[in-house]
Amino acid sequence: MSFDFEALDLSAVEADKGAPKKYLDVGDHDVVIKEARMKDTMNGGGKYLECTFADKDGLTILERYNLVNKNEKAVSIGKAQLKAMLEASDHKDPNKPGGVDKIAGLQVKIKVGLGKKKDDGSQWPEVKLYEKSSKNVVAIDEDEIPF
């Protein structure tokens, strides 16, 4: 099959704008916890709570709270961050959150910032702070986003 690149006409083609945005950027966001579930660490020696926070446009960020780990400092940090999130979300008892099913649906305002630089120089957004949210957020499912 022959092809003449010089004759190529793209005037009727719309330029690709890249992949649709799926994740929250650095900044303040009113969010709802769309999903919460307990998971095992990769080495199987610990457990963490993984929460998916979503804004009204369905943009998300994951946050993981170490709850069982050989590293006591990791557990201390995880529990402190979880309690901060529960307090900011007006959970009925941040000291005793109950089952994981009591986490999904909570609303909170989060401040997203860049995490520590990795060895390769890359940085990823992560939740830095929790505050009370004054907005009622209903996140759309990504399956509902038309593209």
Q: pTM above 0.85?
A: no
Kindly state the tokens that stand for 98: 């109950």
What lies within 8 Å, CB to CB, of 16 at 6+ separation is none
27 has pLDDT over 80: yes
Topology adopted by domain 21-142: OB fold (Dihydrolipoamide Acetyltransferase, E2P) (2.40.50)
What lies within 8 Å, CB to CB, of 3 at 6+ separation is none
Cα(52)–Cα(45) distance, integer angstroms: 23
CA distances from 25 to 16, 36, 102, 106 (A): 21, 21, 27, 20
Cα(27)–Cα(24) distance, integer angstroms: 8
- Comparing C-alpha atoms, which of 94, 88, 87 is closest to residue 110? 88
The predicted pLDDT at position 127 comes to: 95
% of residues, the chain, pLDDT over 70: 92
> How does pLDDT run across 60-69, given as a tens digit for each residue?
999 999 999 9
CA distances from 122 to 63, 112, 113, 125, 126 (A): 18, 16, 13, 10, 13
> How does pLDDT run across 119-137, given as a tens digit for each residue?
998 888 999 999 998 877 7
Provide the residue ranges of all domains of the chain, joining segments of one domain with +: 21-142
